[in-house]
Each structure stands twice: as structure tokens, then as C-alpha cells.
Structure 1
Amino acid sequence: MASASSRRTRGLVLGGGIVVLAAAGVGVWSWARASDSGTVCSALREDARIQDVLGASYRGDMPCGDLGRALREAATGGRPGAHSKKQAQAMRITLEAVGDALGKSGKKDVDDSLRMPLAELMADYVPDTHEILKELDADYVTHLSDGEPWEDRSGVHVTVPNEVLLRVMRSVSASPSAYAVLRNAEGQYAAHSLARIPRTAKGFDLSTPVVGNALAFGALDGVASDATARLSAQEAGKWNKAVVGALGAAAPAKVPDFRAEPAGYVSATWAKGLNGTTRTDSDILRSQGADYLSIWAQGRADGFKPPSRLTEDCLNGQSRKSEEAAKSL
């Protein structure tokens, strides 16, 4: 079930993360490679569902960048992570329309100028995408059949099929900067998931959010694997380095105190650890769930040591979910 504090967490996670990433990426994240320009964009312009979502702002000759930004604006609100049912429905329709356009065209990448707006759209819904990626919350399965957003005490929620979300995330990830936006949003939200765990938690109360984080990270690992699968070893290395560099550059200058900001402590400690590491870039990301657990345990400073089995479950769960996601793509 969705946490009653998820609406507050949305604002905490998204209040400046995308802006920081965009600023950090100036002159660093440019990624030039051939794209399937026009294919998905043209299909979206002709899709009646998209025309309905955009309403009066729709134009048949909209450039791809304008179309992407208009779709992002239709699905997001004035406050990060806070959505009306109409906005959530726009998000669902947009992802389904993009997924359909990709499926019909046989393409895996959306147009260059659609990538960042769509990544930012999905990042604004990270409490929902987190649940869709890890596939453990029954509400997100139940509401697939009715195709409508729903509201509870924590706010408005929306869901799409797991394979649709993965396909759209993959389609923007030809750009490492767009992928970094998705990864950063998930990292921030995962840190808040750990911060909400009571110090006395044991058993499933401890393992469910911890392993859930690893599963969501694993799904994003699978997206990354597919995004680099057709690249040369050199190009794939550059892609991974660009992602890790962007995430590291977005770390705050100072790691906050755990007692004051436990989530900020976890995410900032991990991000700062990316700078100057000798580990390969892909390995850094593939252990993020277990690394988060270790950082959170150290920050508590109360003698808590994660059970070795829980660390193994994180590593195994993240690896397994990566393989599942990559196969579905």
C-alpha cells in the first residue's frame, strides 16, 4: 500500500533535483549520435489521445521539443510531485501513446528533443514509477484494469503496465542526461524510503522497503543495459561515464547530518562517493541498493548492522530485476 507520507516525500524529492541535474549537466552531458528523428514525434502529433491531452495548446505543426514540453506541462503541476487526477491521466495517456508509437515503428529511441521533457515528466511521478518498477504494491496491479488514476490519503496515484514504463524509460535513455534524471529521482525517493523505516523494524518491515529499492534500481539497470547494447564498447563506456559523472556532479557541496536529514545523508553520501572512484561505472550503479543500505546503517550510528542475508538479497534482487527488465525490452 502507498505510504501516507508519500505526497510530502514527493515535494522533498523533486523540489530541486531536476533543476540541479540540468544545471550540472551544462557542457558535460551532451551526447551526439544518430537518432530516429521524426518517427515517434510524428506519430504522437497524429495521435488523437495526445491531441485530446493538449487541448487548445495542440498544433499540428508543433516541433518535437514544443510537443515534449507541452506534454510535460499537461502532466505536471505547480508543485513538484503534486498532481490532479487530470494531470495523472495525462501522464498515463502520454506514456501509453509513446509506448504504442515505439511498438508500431519498431524503434527503441524517441526523438532527441523529446527525451528530456519525457524524462522530467516521469521523474515528477517517481513515487508511482518506483512502485511500478519494483512490482510489489497490489494497488498498482489492481488499478491497471480500470485505467484511471486514483486518490487516497497520500494523494493522487497513477499506473501503467510495467513493460510500458520500461519501454518509455528506455526510449529516452539514448541520452545519458535524460537517464540520469530518472536515476537521480529514483535515488532520492529510495533514500526517503529508508528514512521512513523505524529504528526498531525487523523482518518484513525492514526488508520490504530495502529490497524494494534494490528492485527498482535493478529495473533501471536493465534499461541502461539495453540502451548501451547496440553501442561499441567505447561508446558504452562513455555513456556510463556520463551518467555517473552527472549523478556525482549533482551531489550537494556538504553531506547533511543524518539526524537532521537522513534521506539527504544517504543520497548525498552515495553521490559524493561516485567522484574519483576506481570502480567501473556500471558496477557502481549495479550495487546501489546494497550501498544505500550500508550508508543508511552507518548513518544511524546506533550499532545497527544489516543482516548479511539482507545485503545479499539486495544484490541478488537488483541483479535479477535487471535481467528481467532487459529481457522485456
Structure 2
Amino acid sequence: MTPSSDLESEGKDARSGLGLLLESGTTGHTPLGPNQDPWPATPHTEGQARIMHDVIGGIGPDQSVHENMREPLARALATYTADTHEILAGLDSKYISAAGAGYFQDGDKTHMAVSQKDLVQFMRGLSEDPEAYGTLHKAESRYIDLSLEQIPKEAQGPDVTNPINKAGTALGVMSSIREDVINDGRMAGYSEADWKAKLAYHVIGGAVTPMYFTTAGGVSLAFGDAIQRGVDTWAWEWGNRMKGEVDAKVNPQIADEYLEVNNQLPIMIREWAKDRPEIQESFIQDYSRDVLEGRNRSTETAHKYLTDTTN
């Protein structure tokens, strides 16, 4: 007779293997290793997008993901941040219309589509692991940085305010998920302080080192600080504060402070504006207000989808 502990161990090993298999199947590259962060705008094939759609739709409604699968699935989802950013914003009708099919083509690009509800609930299930949550948060922050850099210098009106509002919306959902995890009280065996501290070190450690992703041809590419100024500035400020505080009880408080949307994004926006001397101070503050409007909209959306998972 097989001892129950052996069966439990086999089950965990099987789920670990399944998680890695799904990471590979949805991204097209081998599972990432230590110090390798997912690239948030990775190209995908139709087949990969379909698998990701099915994983989200199959697991999302339970708002629960097996502990051995959280990190590989978070890494997989992070490669779709260009799509999840738009899905969370809820403004692009192409994603809404294609949610059932699981994908759509836009020129030579394949986009994954899924319902906003399933996505938020899937992210909630992943986020009981602070490192999985950190992976999603880093990817979203990095994609926001990229989207800001892609705004033409002569852009005005909605060409500027829409990307900024979407940034507030996406990180607002992340904030609501974080609050839901903490308020749930289980956090996969972590105490609230441990969860926050582990998240903090995970985000900071990745944000100040190069990012790596593997192309479809198997080539590993690294992206340095040049395109990550906003993320790095925010992360360095946070990291320096944490290094200056030796009290373990203080670091989780710093994590709370720096993960607040109305603290993180104004730092990123101000850093982005440094290369655009034509942007006046009053506009920088207007853009920060757009961030908060996006956050308010997303908080309402996320709370609608996040249900009590304590039972």
C-alpha cells in the first residue's frame, strides 16, 4: 500500500511538471530559470494563445491554483501582458468580441483574448504566491513603461491620456487583487508580513537586473536599464528605503507604500516626462490625475469579480 505522503508528493510533482509544460506550451520557449523574467510583449502563435485562453477559462472561476503551478503559470501569463493590459482596461472591443474564440489577428500579430472576469479571477488564484504576484506586477509595470515610451513626443489629448488611464486601470486591478489576497487571510501559508516582504524582495530584485526572454528562434535577449527608466527609478527608491530599514516589520509597510498606484505611477510618469521638456508641470499633474481615474474605475471592476474564497 502506498503511503499517503508518497501520493501527496507524487501529486505535487505531477502538478509541477504540468505547470512547466503549460509554461512552455503557452510561450513557445523552455521554462524560465532564476533571474530570468518574462518579457511582457512576447509574440505568440495562435496555438499558444488558444492554450493560454483555455487555461485561464478553466482555472479562473475557482480563483484557486495549485501551489506548484502558480509560478510557472504566472511567468506564462506575464508574457501576455500586452494583451492582459488591454483586457483589464476594458476599452478595446476587439478583445471583448474575441473572448470566446480565445484569440484574434491584428496584421501579423496574434492576440490572446479572454473575458475580463476569468482573467481577474485567474490572476487572483496565482497571487496567493507572492513571487507569482510579483512576476505579474513586474511585467505590468514594465509594459506600462514601454507604452509610455511609445507615445510620440508630439502626441496630445487621448493619444497621451488613454495609455496613462489604462496604466492606472491595470495596476488598480493588481492592487485590488493584492488587497483581496491579504484580506483572505490564508495566503498559501504565509503571514501577511511575510507575504509582503517576500513580494517586495522579488519585485526589487528583478526590477534592477536585466530582463531575459527567448525568441521563437531560441535566441536569449537581455534588456537593460535604457528602456526601464521608470520601473528602475521606482524600484530603486523602494529598494533604498528597504535597505535603510533593518526592522523586518518596517519593510512590509514600505512595500505597501510603493505598491500603491497613486505612488508608483506618478514616479514613473515624472521619469518619463524628463525626456520631454515640452511637457509642463501642470500636464504632469494632470496625467497623474488620469492615473487615479483609471484606478478608481478598475477597483470597481475587480471588486465585482473577486468573491470570498475562504470557504
The residue number in structure 1 matching 2:158 is 204
Cα distance in 2 between the residues matched to 1:247 and 1:320: 25
CA gap 1:161/1:229 in 2 versus in 1, 3 angstroms: same
Aligned-pair identity in percent equals 27
Correspondence for 2:53 among 69, 92, 98? 92
Distance of aligned partners of 1:155 and 1:232 in 2 relative to their CA distance in 1, 3 Å threshold? closer
Is 1:65 aligned to 2:16, yes or no?
Answer: yes
User: What is the distance in 2 between the residues matched to 1:181 and 1:75?
Assistant: 16
Cα offset, 1:300, TM superposition = 3.4
> CA 1:198 to 1:156, structure 2 compared with 1: closer, same or farther past 3 Å?
same
Counterpart CA distance in 1 for 2:108 and 2:15 is 34
Q: Which residue of 2 aligns with 1:76?
A: 27
Q: Contact 1:270–1:295 at 8 Å: present in 2 too?
A: no
Aligned counterpart, 2:169? 215
Is residue 277 from structure 1 mapped to residue 235 from structure 2 by the alignment?
A: no
Q: TM-score, normalised by structure 2?
A: 0.75
* Offset at residue 201 of structure 1 (A): 1.4
Encode CA deviations 1:127-170: one digit per residue, 9 max, x unaligned. 1111111112121112124x142222251101111110111111
Q: What's the counterpart of residue 140 of structure 1?
A: 95
- Aligned partner (choices 258, 266, 286) of residue 290 of structure 1: 266
Q: TM-score, normalised by structure 1?
A: 0.71
Distance 1:68 1:253 in 2: 25
Secondary structure of 2:151's counterpart equals: coil
- Please say if residues 70 and 132 of structure 2, whose CA atoms lie closer than 8 Å, have aligned partners that are also in contact: yes
| Counterparts of 1:281 and 1:185, CA distance in 2 | 17
State how 1:240-279 maps to structure 2 within 5 Å.
Answer: 240-252=196-208, 263-277=227-241
Q: Mind listing any 5+ residue stretches in structure 1 that lack a counterpart?
A: 1-36, 43-60, 103-107, 255-259
- The one of 159, 164, 189 aligned to 2:143: 189
Instruction: Give the equivalent residue in structure 1 for 2:131.
Output: 177
Summarize deviations over 1:277-302 as a string: whole Å, max 9, x none. Answer: 37732232122233221221134355
**Compared CA separation, residues 236 and 324, structure 1 to 2 (3 A):** farther
Q: How many residues align?
A: 261
Which residue of the other structure, out of 117, 123, 140, is the alignment partner of 2:78?
123
Matched AA of 1:143? A
Q: Is the 8 A contact 1:195 1:262 kept in 2?
A: no
Distance 2:64 2:104 in 1: 30
CA positional deviation for 1:187: 0.8
**8 A contact 2:230–2:267 mirrored in 1:** no
Q: What CA distance in whole angstroms lies between the structure 2 residues aligned with 1:293 and 1:109? A: 34
Cα RMSD after superposing both structures: 2.9
Q: Which residue of 2 aligns with 1:150?
A: 104
Alignment partners' CA distance in 2, 1:152 and 1:253: 32
CA contact (8 A) 1:192 1:263 kept: yes
Q: 1:322 aligns to what?
A: 299
Contact kept in structure 2, 1:166 and 1:325, CA below 8 Å = yes
Q: Can you give the 5+ residue segments of structure 2 that lack an aligned partner in the other structure? A: 1-6, 31-38, 211-223, 243-252, 307-311
